[in-house]
Amino acid sequence: MTPPIDAHVRLDTHPTHPSAVTAVLAGAQARIALMGLEAADWTVVAENVLVLVRIDHEEPYWAEDAAKHLSAEGITVEITPRLREAMDEEWTWANYPMPWCTRSEIRRVSNEAQKIHDDIRHGQLLIHAHAHDGHTTVAVGTYLGRNGKSVYLHGEDHLRQVADTFDSPAQALLAFEKVHTADMRPGAAPLTDTERAAAEARATFGLTAAKPAPSRPEPETVPAYLADAGDHDALLDAFLDAHGDWEKWRTWSDETTHAIHESQTLRVERVHEAHTRDTAWTVAAYETPVSDRTWVLTATGATPAPVLQGLLDHLADGDGWDTVVGAQVDEKTVAAATQPLSKAGWKRTVDGRWIRWTSPTGDTGVQFDAFAAQHPGQNLATWTVWAGPGPDRPTWALTASPHTPSSLLADLSETLTHGTGTRRTNTARRPRSVRLRPSPAAISPPATGHTISRGL
């Protein structure tokens, strides 16, 4: 039997990063635990405090692996309930480029990418040049030390791989230059949003870890997209109390509330017990009370209160609900919807069918799907507003169909760029799955009268 070691490790979620994990050590032999975690690529950020931040967002998995090894050595390990929940969550990458891979195979691929990232970060792999091949970033570099090999790298973040190897830096550079002469740039490529967020998580936690925690969380003013979700039910109740032209209906099961405008051409569905990343709000508009819907918008349960308040304020104005049925979504429509983002200096990028506007800090953005916009009759998720690592891994998300009024989208853009809210504690959590489309119980055409026999 392994003798116990006088060391205690408390594993918890990171205070600001949605998937990172922290370790706080105690005990006369805490140094033993620290050495073990450092060997597993945990970073020391303060005395007896380490953090695990990865570019593949698999921190809970590897934290659990570290916990098993520490326990086997006789070290006491405590895992907080919220981290345990993250460890037990099942999730998958959306639009993963290698769909034939199993979950364990995906984890192996991303772990190899993580090793490359760590080698570059620790100065063990020197990048000579990089380029963009039209799809992703490619680079050439050399491992330092005796018998170091030169490598050709393809991809970014969790998809970066060694595509080829060379006997010398000269061979590698000549081969790279032959293919990427026009786009070749010296040195490493700029950090991706994921890499930047990981670096910030290590740095910011190092600063906060050295300070004593306040006796109770105090609210802080933050951008609207980082604010707490607050009480969504209270938001809806306040909205209905203030606007007599809306009527409230609650289903017999008491799980859902419907708010219907007196014109019966605009309806809101609120699912009370929805998971933070499942659809909790659905807004739908109709040309007439008995027609098919003209546009639909959804929001997840973790959507910040200021964002929802801005949406409800727009609905309360009574203007800008309508759109021209059958009209194509053109450049003018897109420009009007995103004008506040452009004025605020958000970065605009084009990636195939997607156009994205990303905040200067990289932690929120708006995505337009040109393919979905070409099929307006299907009410596909053409617009996606998100906060978190990206549109495929959101902390919260809001989606809208092609004919959603540009004035409404512009108001949401204005809220993202200039709105503020409060946050007591960081509520960002790692998503267990990716669900960006309306729930199956999506909004159906409204009936005349005031009898509701099914969902929206």
Residue pLDDT, tens place only, 52-76: 999 999 999 999 999 999 999 899 9
The arithmetic mean of pLDDT across residues 98-112, rounded, is 89
Q: Is 266 exposed, middle or buried (0-12, 13-18, 19+ CB in 10 A)?
A: buried
Three-class DSSP category at 420? strand
Diameter over CA atoms, the chain: 81
Rounded-to-integer distance, Cα 128 and Cα 106, Å: 28
Q: What is the pTM of this model?
A: 0.49
Tokens representing 150? 């030169």
Does 56 map to a domain? yes
- Same-domain status, 272 and 392: yes
pLDDT at residue 423, rounded to an integer: 85
Q: Give the bridge partners for 43, in sequence order.
A: 51
Beta strands in 67-136 (DSSP E): 76-79, 125-132
State the total domains in the chain: 3
Tokens representing 165? 């190897």
Rounded-to-integer distance, Cα 309 and Cα 232, Å: 9
Residue pLDDT, tens place only, 225-275: 999 998 999 999 999 989 989 998 866 556 888 999 988 889 999 998 888
Rounded-to-integer distance, Cα 193 and Cα 199, Å: 10
Residue pLDDT, tens place only, 263-289: 888 999 999 888 888 899 999 998 888
Radius of gyration of the chain (CA): 25
- Same-domain status, 250 and 167: no
Strand 293-300 and strand 220-223: the pairing is unpaired
- Same-domain status, 275 and 360: yes
Residue pLDDT, tens place only, 361-381: 888 999 999 998 888 777 788
**Per-position DSSP letters for 185-236, written without gaps between them:** EESPPPPPHHHHHHHHHHHHHHHHHTSPPPSSPPPEEEEGGGS----HHHHH
pLDDT at residue 214, rounded to an integer: 46
- Same-domain status, 284 and 392: yes
Q: What angle do CA 318, 321, 325 make, to 5 degrees?
A: 150
Amino acid at 12: D
The arithmetic mean of pLDDT across residues 287-303, rounded, is 90
- Same-domain status, 256 and 372: yes
The arithmetic mean of pLDDT across residues 296-314, rounded, is 94
Domain end point (choices 171, 193, 215): 193
The arithmetic mean of pLDDT across residues 18-27, rounded, is 92
- Same-domain status, 148 and 276: no
Rounded-to-integer distance, Cα 223 and Cα 365, Å: 13
Query: Are residues 42 and 66 in contact, defined by beta-carbon separation less than 8 angstroms?
Result: yes
Rounded-to-integer distance, Cα 288 and Cα 291, Å: 5
Q: Say how many C-beta atoms besides its own lie within 10 A of residue 2's C-beta.
A: 9
More confident residue, 441 or 27: 27
Does 216 map to a domain? no
Rounded-to-integer distance, Cα 382 and Cα 297, Å: 10
116: phi then psi, degrees, rounded to nearest 5: -65, -45
Three-class DSSP category at 454? coil
Percent of the chain exceeding pLDDT 90 equals: 52
Does 212 map to a domain? no
Mean pLDDT of the chain: 84
- Same-domain status, 64 and 22: yes
Does 450 map to a domain? no
- Same-domain status, 240 and 187: no
Does 444 map to a domain? no
- Same-domain status, 172 and 48: no
- Same-domain status, 393 and 275: yes
Beta strands in 217-363 (DSSP E): 220-223, 246-250, 256-261, 266-271, 279-286, 293-300, 347-351, 354-358
Cβ-Cβ contacts under 8 Å for 392 (sequence gap 6 or more): 93, 94, 95, 434
- Same-domain status, 74 and 123: no
434: phi then psi, degrees, rounded to nearest 5: -110, 115
Does 371 map to a domain? yes
Rounded-to-integer distance, Cα 99 and Cα 343, Å: 39
| Per-residue confidence band for 218, with pLDDT thresholds at 50, 70 and 90 | low
pLDDT at 441 over 80: no
pLDDT at residue 2, rounded to an integer: 54
Tokens representing 23? 């370790």
Tokens representing 252? 């017999």
Q: Say how many C-beta atoms besides its own lie within 10 A of residue 214's C-beta.
A: 7
- Same-domain status, 143 and 32: no
Rounded-to-integer distance, Cα 327 and Cα 403, Å: 8
CA 370 from chain centre, in angstroms, equals 21
Rounded-to-integer distance, Cα 456 and Cα 447, Å: 10
Rounded-to-integer distance, Cα 406 and Cα 336, Å: 6
Does 317 map to a domain? yes
Does 71 map to a domain? yes
Query: Are residues 177 and 186 in contact, defined by beta-carbon separation less than 8 angstroms?
Result: no
Domain containing 136 equals 103-193
Rounded-to-integer distance, Cα 157 and Cα 211, Å: 32
pLDDT at 213 over 60: no
